[in-house]
């Protein structure tokens, strides 16, 4: 296992980070099995564990907390805040999400309790929240560092312009800065190469990338012309990404076939190539692997030993050109500029005047 410094934090982390989204009711509900997988990853040299409060509605954090008993001091522990966790009558769930001071000060205490720890090494804002001033978010996160509840903070799936704004506001207001970014990045989703990764690099941010297997599409289990089971694994969670009849998926299946041919020439598996690829980019510190079973962990760890030469990278560029996304990689979140039609349509009364 190799290690790199996480941005300018001075914290050394393994180049592969254990992602835990698949532990709990959404994936593997066996807490003891989850703990065994986590400890096996630590035994293999991984010292970086990433989770989030919304994974299985907090259950995942509880599994991680149990697994790290007796090993906490040697682990760089990261979790995230933003997505809603509760609903109820009289709007009880309305302020239980987002990036406001009101929610973050509550959410961090809940995460500390579930993780059964006194501190979080990296606390990440899971998605942008354009209803909250970024100064408000940076201010409360800085207060949490001062209070000793977190050691550093960062963000996840922020567009480049939001990274720049956060750093500009921090500099102008004398606030602590976002130290890391966590974008989706894979052989099939290379869009972050256009602006996010270069921007993070210029700003001195550490980068931990998620979904190297493209939500399971690069697992090797989904091949062109073969029956697709949409009731199990990641296909059960996001069937539209795997349905061969869905628009856009044909390009993904075709790319997978060409990538499989490449791995056969190399003598490795498709998952091994997938988890090795993000680490080639000079902006990337660590790539998150998210196994559900021990066998998956063992298979993914083999990618930690794989080094890619220029000939292989040139071949990959031919299959999926740099900066190209073959699917929308950022999951369910979209910027308000796309989801709110009032942000891109003048009011009817103004349209004639503007013509």
Residues marked active site are found at 55
- Is residue 18 within 8 Å of 24, Cβ to Cβ? no
β-bridge partners, 19: 50
What is the pairing mode between strands 16-19 and 286-289? parallel
Q: Which tokens belong to 305?
A: 């030993």
Which tokens sit at 299?
């298979």
Closest listed residue to residue 182, CA positions, set 161, 198, 158, 199: 158
Distance between CA 44 and CA 345 in Å, rounded?
A: 53
Distance in angstroms (rounded) separating the CA atoms of residues 314 and 10: 33
Which run of H or E residues covers position 237? helix 233-237
Which tokens belong to 310? 């220029």
How far CA 85 is from CA of 7, 181, 301, in Å, comes to: 30, 23, 32
Task: Give the DSSP letter of residue 197.
Answer: H
List the beta strands (DSSP E) in the chain.
3-5, 12-14, 16-19, 48-50, 76-81, 120-125, 150-156, 180-182, 206-209, 286-289
Identify the residue whose tokens are 């907390």: 65
Distance between CA atoms of 25 and 88, rounded to whole angstroms?
21
Residue 123 buriedness (CB in 10 A; 0-12 / 13-18 / 19+): buried
- CB neighbours of 64 closer than 8 A, spacing ≥ 6? 20, 23, 38, 49, 51, 77, 115
Q: From CA 318, how far away is CA 314, in angstroms rounded?
A: 6
């Amino acid at each position: 296992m190799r290690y790199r410094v996480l941005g300018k934090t001075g914290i050394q982390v393994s180049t592969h980070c254990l992602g835990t989204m698949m532990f709990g009711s959404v994936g593997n509900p066996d807490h003891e099995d989850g703990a065994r997988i986590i400890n096996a990853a630590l035994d293999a040299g991984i010292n970086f564990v990433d989770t989030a409060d919304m994974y299985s509605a907090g259950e995942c954090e509880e599994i991680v907390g149990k697994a790290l008993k007796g090993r906490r001091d040697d682990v760089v522990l990261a979790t995230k805040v933003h997505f809603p966790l509760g609903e109820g009558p009289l709007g009880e769930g309305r302020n239980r999400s987002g990036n406001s001071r009101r929610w973050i000060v509550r959410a961090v205490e809940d995460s500390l309790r579930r993780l059964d720890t006194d501190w979080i090494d990296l606390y990440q804002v899971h998605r942008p929240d354009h209803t909250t001033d970024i100064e408000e978010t940076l201010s409360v996160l800085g207060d949490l560092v001062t209070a000793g509840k977190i050691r550093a903070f960062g963000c996840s799936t922020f567009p480049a312009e939001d990274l720049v704004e956060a750093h500009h506001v921090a500099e102008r207001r004398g606030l602590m800065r976002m130290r890391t970014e966590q974008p989706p990045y894979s052989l099939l989703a290379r869009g972050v190469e256009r602006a996010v990764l270069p921007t993070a690099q210029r700003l001195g941010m550490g980068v931990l990338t998620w979904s190297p297997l493209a939500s399971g599409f690069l697992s090797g289990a989904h091949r062109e012309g073969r029956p697709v089971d949409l009731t199990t694994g990641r296909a059960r969670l996001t069937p539209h990404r795997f349905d061969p009849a869905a628009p856009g998926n044909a390009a993904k299946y075709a790319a997978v076939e060409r990538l499989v041919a490449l791995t056969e020439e190399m003598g490795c598996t498709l998952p091994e190539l997938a988890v090795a690829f993000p680490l080639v980019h000079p902006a990337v510190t660590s790539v998150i692997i998210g196994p559900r079973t021990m066998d998956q962990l063992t298979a993914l760890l083999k990618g930690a030993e794989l080094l890619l030469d220029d000939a292989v990278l040139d071949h990959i560029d031919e299959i999926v050109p740099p900066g190209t996304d073959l699917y929308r990689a950022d999951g369910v979140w979209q910027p308000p500029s796309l989801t709110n039609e009032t942000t891109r349509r003048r009011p009817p009364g103004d349209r004639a005047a503007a013509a």
